[in-house]
Amino acid sequence: MKIAMIGVGAMGGATVQGLLQVPSVCPSDIIVSNPTTAKTDRFKAVGAHATTDNKEAAAKADVVCICVKPWLVETVFDEIRDVLRPKEQLLVIMAAGISPDQVKLWLPDTPPFFLVIPNIAIAQKQSMTFVVPVDATPEQTALVKGLFDEMGTALLTDYQHLAAGTTLASCGIAYAMRYIRAASEGGVELGFKADVSKEIVMQTLEGAVQLLRATGMHPEQAIDQVTTPGGLTIKGLNEMEHAGFTSAVIRGLKASTK
Ligand SMILES: NC(=O)C1=CN([C@@H]2O[C@H](COP(=O)(O)OP(=O)(O)OC[C@H]3O[C@@H](n4cnc5c(N)ncnc54)[C@H](O)[C@@H]3O)[C@@H](O)[C@H]2O)C=CC1
Ligand SMILES: O=C(O)[C@@H]1CCC=N1
């Protein structure tokens, strides 16, 4: 199965990096297309086919992925519409805020398509990815979901939930990074070197995630196990809440979803 990635910037590039680690995908099965070869060189070096011609990429693929900024999706459709084979190919559109109706308006003779929103941890096969099938058969849906499941966890959902999913997971990874930065800076003020502080915070977060996964606990249950009455943890937690921690996170998520 040949997979084209049109647009290999932050998200498209991370996805190709993930694809290159999927056992069932050979580098020679991947076609990358970008206007600048600087972005495709690293994939060419490991055996992928690289081009600056979107038409060539789309014509050669069974699965055509488009990962350009949302306002460029229509331009890419215009470039590739003549070479698409609606009965043979699948289209994967990785662009925030594009609706099924918009795709059908821009590309009336479209192959079955999927709106797919991963996050940049797909490069490490650790993405939380949302997959919305449009006019696809169960087999086609299983194929695309299966591919993204190989690069993390893929959740099949409807278009109505896609914006919320994008916020929680795709934007959410940036929010998680901001927590890591904030906690690391706090650690430096408390006396650790920056790199040591960052490592401590990262291991602490990995531990938190694994604990919740292993036990199925609600985070607040786990917090109860840490907070000695009148002790250190509750003083820190309450100070964070006085500064609006929970509210800031929820407000940020809601602002992002708008
Ligand atoms: N960056 C992220 O974490 C996420 C991004 N997305 C979506 O992914 C899409 C791409 O975003 P980024 O990768 O962040 O942007 P980016 O700017 O890093 O990458 C876009 C790439 O498209 C290339 N490009 C521009 N015009 C092109 C054309 N006509 N044909 C082929 N390639 C073209 C650019 O040279 C660039 O390499 C957006 O629609 C965004 O909403 C979705 C989820 C997460
Ligand atoms: O910030 C953005 O618009 C894109 C979509 C989700 C993550 N990054």
pLDDT tens, position by position, 76-86: 999 999 999 99
* Structural class in CATH, domain 166-257: mainly alpha
Taking the centre of ligand 2 as the mean of its atom positions, its distance from the CA of residue 170, in whole angstroms, is 7
Right CATH for 3-157 from 3.30.300.30, 3.40.50.720, 3.30.56.10, 3.10.20.30: 3.40.50.720
Note the pLDDT of residue 117: 98
Reply yes or no on whether the pLDDT at 38 is more than 90.
yes
> Domain segments of the chain: what residues?
3-157, 166-257
Reply yes or no on whether the pLDDT at 258 is more than 90.
no
Taking the centre of ligand 2 as the mean of its atom positions, its distance from the CA of residue 213, in whole angstroms, is 27
Q: Is residue 89 in contact with ligand 1, taking CB distance under 6 Å?
A: no
Q: What average pLDDT score do residues 219-226 get?
A: 98
Write out residues with Cβ below 6 Å of ligand 2. 96, 166, 170-171
- Edge-to-edge strand list for the sheet holding 30-33: 49-51, 30-33, 3-6, 63-66, 90-93, 113-117, 127-134, 152-156
Question: ipTM beyond 0.95?
Answer: yes
Taking the centre of ligand 2 as the mean of its atom positions, its distance from the CA of residue 227, in whole angstroms, is 36
- Alpha-carbon span 112 to 134, nearest angstrom: 6
pLDDT digits over 144-189, tens only?
Answer: 999 999 999 999 999 999 999 999 999 999 999 999 999 999 999 9
Specify the residue with its C-alpha closest to ligand 2, atom 3: 96
This prediction's pTM: 0.97
Note the pLDDT of residue 109: 93
C-alpha distances in Å from residue 222, one per residue of 59, 117, 184, 209, 219:
52, 31, 22, 11, 5
Q: What average pLDDT score do residues 128-156 get?
A: 98
Note the pLDDT of residue 56: 98
- Alpha-carbon span 117 to 170, nearest angstrom: 7
Taking the centre of ligand 1 as the mean of its atom positions, its distance from the CA of residue 95, in whole angstroms, is 8
Q: Is residue 96 in contact with ligand 1, taking CB distance under 6 Å?
A: yes
